[in-house]
Structure 1
Amino acid sequence: MDYISTRDPHATPQAFTDILLGGLSPDGGLYMPAVYPTISPELLDEWRALLAAEGYAALAAEVVKLFVDDIPPAIVEKLTAQAYTTEKFASEEIVPVTELEDGLWLAHLSEGPTAAFKDMAMQLLGELFEFELTRRGEEINILGATSGDTGSSAEYAMRGRDNIRVFMLTPGGRMTPFQQAQMFGLDDPNIFNIALDGVFDDCQDVVKEVNGDAPFKAKYRIGAVNSINWARLLAQTVYYISSYIKVTETNDEQVSFCVPTGNFGDICAGHIAKQMGLPIDRLIVATNENDVLHEFFTTGEYRPRSAAETHATSSPSMDISKASNFERFIFDVTGRDAKVTGKLFGAKVKEGGFNLDDFGGTVGGDDVRARISEEFGFLSGKSTHADRVATIKDTHERNGVLIDPHTADGVFVARGVADQVTTPIVVLETALPVKFADTIVEAIGEAPAIPERFAGIMDAERHVADLPNDAKAVQAFIVDAIENTDV
């Protein structure tokens, strides 16, 4: 399996383990498989039997093998078995799926060590990184940005691992107290938390700027765990497959997925699964007040917003106005035209964004609209604070289920588009309610129960460095940490 950059017109092939450690392409693009492997009905039947007999880790191994040919198959099986265990996940199923109400299901992705769906990919990423670095005798310095959940998931997956340091940028004061406690309470010598004076998009921009400094990136072995890293999306395709299997009895049935998203990573994995042939009907984008993606899918205009225009909301992990993974989707929409993709996400985005009409003669505005809706199956909706609070309250009272604010955005949007969808809708859970206690109290009048595994987390001493919104300051911090810590 070869990988290519979304901005490389020559489609220069790269190996999986090279892009695993490299993250962002040197040309600023994102890596994609040169071709998508195919999920045939026969293969899906095999996976049904495998999931029932051997569980999630075994299914994950078979999916990963389709995309990875430079790690021995037996090693892939070992790594997935180590990633998805009952020691790390609260459910033996890893990803249980339950019916919320008629036609609406929840895929529970928050059974991992940090109670967020990011654990699903990060636990595997930690295993892959440690294996490949040991095999090469190298170190890596992971630089990431988080709006709430990626950071803690990455740190819990990488803490204590050989040959790895983690530098995680957070938007100063923008995460919930529980999210901050999860990250800043860690006191591992290879974990470094940085609170940046800005919003998540500023953190993401700094990560991209540092990665764009090729000499610095090479000298200090900078890698990525954000969803710009292809391995994250690969791991996430697995739970689309497992959820589909659990909701259906035969491969003749289709299922739709509604995904709370700001960075287009979680739902991009669904797009990949659909392109592989998984019988997905609709992929429904659920946004909060930061509705850049909803605006695109309803008007055809992609207009990233400034930090000043990015709202601080009660579903903070989606407070994002520049959707990094959106480039991967547009790459496919334009027929994998790297020149057009590079222009759109280079010059056009810098000028304020682009419209479907800007695709020009490559695909054609009207044709692009039709492909996005009919071939790729996308719908979208938007949820506000009032919507999510009311949805949390209603779901708790009527269904006996307590959901977090992001999942509430997904449930609200799924209910809103149900009359446009003829197949069961699976809402992908984002996190456990305990991470967003203030909003839960507002919705139901009492705080969510704290799972036993998180007892005392709010009392830990905080370890975090405050830095200005400046890539050079972050680079200086990284250099100092590398020179003064061994891993």
Structure 2
Amino acid sequence: MSVRLVSTRGGPAVDLPAAILAGLAPDGGLYVPEAWPRLDPADLDAGSGFTAVASAVLELFTSDLLPSPQLERLVGDAFARFDHPEVAPLVELGPDLYLMELFWGPTLAFKDFALQVLGRLVDVALGARGGNAMILGATSGDTGSAAMEAFRDRERVDVVILFPEGRTTEVQRRQMTTIDAPNVHAVAVEGTFDDCQDLVKAVFADPGTRDDLSLSTANSINFGRLITQVAYYYWAAARLGGPVSFAVPSGNFGNVYSGYAATRMGLPVRRLIVGSNAYNVLDGFFRNGRMDLGTVIPTLSPSMDIQVPSNLERLLFDLFRKDGERLVEAMIHLREEGSLTVMGGTDDLFVSRWYDDEDTMAAMREVYRSSGRIVDPHSAVGI
């Protein structure tokens, strides 16, 4: 029996196909499992390749959607487009310090991991249930091109991606605006990523528009994005042996939340280290239980220039003991007052740090000096 998913704001349980086709719950909440399935790392074959690990994770959520052999073919097809035989190779930077390379996908973004699989799962779900869908999303950087590449030329799906004009890198802008496929569209918006994300959420909050267009989303608010990312936490831990700590550069809190999901599924993890740039709302939350929204200022790591990390709502749902009403009140207070205080904290699993652009450049120089490797500003925040 596949996992059932509930809304963080109290909505009824649905199956995975309904959750990935909807993206956002009708009440505006995000989908999370009623109960997390378990995957003992010891049950994975010692020499398993990445696709085998990903299939083992995904099968826990998709067994009602497609049989194991079909899932394995789907996963194999998704990662066949990656340009490294290990898919997510680990590179040693120093004693007990490794860099997991997540840039070998077709758009060079870590989001290729989830979106190449999600595009195929959406195809399967639409084939089983009939109809078409429109993927509406917002991007602060590389989600847009990764989503457009994952869904390009799919007959049942149209894609519309909003991005903040002048606030992505030139490479990211060109990736989004030069994909030659009739079903994908990039739209520049005057404002910030949070403005783009608010527009997307407002459209999803209108039941009539949502139903008329059969809207879904490829942003990390779609639970289908998160489950594939869980796989590379299991993969890295298996390769390195024993419990490890993961330092994750964080913007919308989706990637590091997947690490948290892995711990809920049974993966031993010492620490999840949340790395933030000057948008240090997450650092404030994990240090003292308080979020304060500040001024929007572009940084060298634009994919992380996010004031309101959407996926934090999933963690808050656990911290609030699955009290949807309390969560709604908290999110309203954050939007209206610009701050949120949560007592109780997240025990010792999460730790956090934040770094400004000067710190980021210093880290990039140090990594190059010590290892000869060039890292991007986002990775430098994690390092």
TM-score (structure 1 length as normaliser) = 0.76
Q: Give the C-alpha shift of residue 209 in structure 1.
A: 0.2
Counterparts of residues 53-452 of structure 1 (less than 5 Å): 53=48, 55-73=49-67, 74-85=69-80, 88-248=81-241, 253-305=242-294, 309-356=295-342, 365=343, 368-369=344-345, 372-374=346-348, 377-411=349-383
Instruction: For 2:128 and 2:35, locate their aligned partners in 1 and report how far apart those are by CA, in whole Å.
Output: 27
Q: Give the C-alpha shift of residue 19 in structure 1.
A: 0.6
* Matching residue of 1:431: none
Residue ranges of structure 1 left out of the alignment (5+ in a row): 357-364, 412-487
- Contact 2:164-2:191 at 8 Å conserved across structures: yes
Instruction: For 1:159 and 1:145, locate their aligned partners in 2 and report how far apart those are by CA, in whole Å.
Output: 17
Instruction: For 1:336 and 1:107, locate their aligned partners in 2 and report how far apart those are by CA, in whole Å.
Output: 33
The 4+ residue runs of structure 1 with deviation greater than 4 A are: none
Instruction: For 1:162 and 1:135, locate their aligned partners in 2 and report how far apart those are by CA, in whole Å.
Output: 15
- Contact 1:130-1:162 at 8 Å conserved across structures: no
3-state DSSP class of the match of 2:37? coil
**What's the CA shift string for 1:142-182, capped at 9, x where partnerless?**
00000011001001111111211100000011111111111
Q: Give the C-alpha shift of residue 349 in structure 1.
A: 3.3
- Contact 2:39-2:57 at 8 Å conserved across structures: no
Instruction: For 1:345 and 1:145, locate their aligned partners in 2 and report how far apart those are by CA, in whole Å.
Output: 19
**Partner letter of residue 44 of structure 2?**
W
**What's the CA shift string for 1:117-137, capped at 9, x where partnerless?**
010101001111112212222
**Partner letter of residue 8 of structure 2?**
T
Residue ranges of structure 2 left out of the alignment (5+ in a row): none
Q: Give the C-alpha shift of residue 72 in structure 1.
A: 2.4
Q: Give the C-alpha shift of residue 347 in structure 1.
A: 4.0
Instruction: For 1:242 and 1:208, locate their aligned partners in 2 and report how far apart those are by CA, in whole Å.
Output: 33
- Contact 2:276-2:282 at 8 Å conserved across structures: yes
Instruction: For 1:143 and 1:247, locate their aligned partners in 2 and report how far apart those are by CA, in whole Å.
Output: 38
**Partner letter of residue 59 of structure 1?**
V
- Contact 1:373-1:379 at 8 Å conserved across structures: no
The structure with the greater share of residues assigned to helix is: 1
Q: Give the C-alpha shift of residue 316 in structure 1.
A: 0.6
3-state DSSP class of the match of 1:179? helix
State the percentage of identical aligned residues. Answer: 39
Instruction: For 2:235 and 2:155, locate their aligned partners in 1 and report how far apart those are by CA, in whole Å.
Output: 31
* Matching residue of 1:18: 18
3-state DSSP class of the match of 1:346? helix
3-state DSSP class of the match of 2:358? helix
- Contact 1:24-1:30 at 8 Å conserved across structures: yes
Q: Computing the radius of gyration over CA atoms, which structure comes out larger, 1 or 2?
A: 1
**What's the CA shift string for 1:63-105, capped at 9, x where partnerless?**
11112232122322221111111xx111011100121111211
- Contact 1:48-1:245 at 8 Å conserved across structures: no
**Partner letter of residue 364 of structure 2?**
I
Q: Give the C-alpha shift of residue 322 in structure 1.
A: 0.7
- RMSD of Structure 2 on Structure 1 (CA): 1.2
* Matching residue of 2:6: 4
Q: Give the C-alpha shift of residue 317 in structure 1.
A: 0.5
3-state DSSP class of the match of 2:44? helix
Give the paired residue count: 380
3-state DSSP class of the match of 2:13? coil
